[in-house]
């Protein structure tokens, strides 16, 4: 009877949620726990770019993408990099996780993101974090080799200001105790910076379980995180995971979920942020 019930439930899940269900998460659990990844990240010096990035103007641009899911095709990622590194106003790019779609793909993506003199005009850095797909099949070791840390901060120094960027690891479906304590300490220095932008992979507002444990933050952590961001004047919280664009203003913080950038994802886009006395952003669908 129990066996029959399990089979029935499995069939029901497949029939009713096959368009949303991430079956990979059932058979390829994430490598390493969140606290372990955070501890490893905080010891690393490799961030995908300098921890202090100096630009020559108080105004600059940032290119942002998410959910590339690199596999056999990666034309959109290459075009994203071409556009980023052809723009003289750009300080850096941000990649919000799910870079990989299969074992070995992180190395492929790393090669595409690397500066290419035949394609790129400017050698602007790209700062990345892990998504749940970057942890499946034991890929955390590959991520560290290719992109370095997944929990870190970096600062953009302009002639008159400094802007703080905080990169969080939520690839396993939570930020974890160690990372939340670290974030709390980092935000104590928020007052030193003109702007503060936080990036993570999992959508804070997601409530369904279509991707099981990697798809939702624990509610207690969500409450703590949103209170922490609002209390410390964080302006933008960038996230991916859902493949569908959405903007939500809560507690003075603008939460923006990006579309995907994978080649076989049908509709795709990326966003650019204009940083100056205020923050502005727009999405680009022509990719």
Please list the ranges in the chain whose pLDDT falls under 50.
Answer: 1-29, 208-214
Runs of H (alpha helix) within 18-133: 24-27, 34-42, 75-84, 105-113
* Predicted pLDDT of residue 207: 53
* Predicted pLDDT of residue 14: 32
* Predicted pLDDT of residue 220: 87
Give domain limits for the chain: 30-284
* Predicted pLDDT of residue 142: 96
CATH class of 30-284: alpha beta
Model confidence over 150-207: pLDDT tens digits? 999 999 999 999 999 999 999 999 999 999 999 999 999 999 999 999 999 999 886 5
């Amino acid at each position: 009877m129990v066996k029959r019930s399990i089979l029935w439930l499995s069939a029901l899940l497949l029939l009713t949620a096959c368009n949303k269900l991430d079956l990979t998460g059932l058979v390829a659990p994430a490598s390493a726990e969140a606290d372990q990844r955070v501890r490893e990240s905080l010891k690393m010096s490799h961030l995908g770019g300098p921890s202090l990035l100096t630009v020559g103007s108080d105004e600059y641009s940032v290119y942002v993408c998410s959910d590339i899911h690199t596999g056999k095709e990666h034309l959109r990622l290459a075009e994203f990099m071409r556009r980023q590194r052809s723009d003289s106003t750009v300080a850096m790019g941000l990649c919000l996780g799910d870079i990989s779609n299969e074992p070995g793909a992180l190395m492929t993506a790393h090669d595409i993101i690397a500066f290419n003199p035949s394609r790129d005009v400017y050698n602007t850095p790209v700062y990345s974090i892990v998504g749940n797909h970057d942890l499946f099949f034991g890929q955390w070791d590959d991520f560290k080799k290719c992109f370095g840390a997944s929990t870190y901060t970096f600062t953009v120094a302009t002639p008159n200001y400094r802007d703080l960027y905080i990169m969080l690891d939520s690839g396993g479906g939570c930020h974890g105790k160690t990372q939340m304590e670290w974030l709390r300490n980092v935000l104590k220095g928020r007052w030193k910076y003109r702007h503060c932008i936080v990036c993570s992979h999992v959508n804070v507002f997601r409530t369904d379980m279509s991707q099981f444990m990697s798809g939702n933050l624990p509610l207690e952590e969500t409450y703590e995180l949103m209170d922490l961001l609002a209390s410390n004047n964080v302006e933008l919280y960038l996230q991916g995971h859902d493949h569908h664009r959405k903007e939500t203003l809560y507690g003075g913080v603008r939460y923006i979920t990006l579309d995907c950038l994978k080649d076989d994802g049908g509709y795709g886009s990326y966003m650019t942020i204009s940083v100056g006395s205020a923050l502005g952003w727009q999405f680009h669908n022509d990719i």
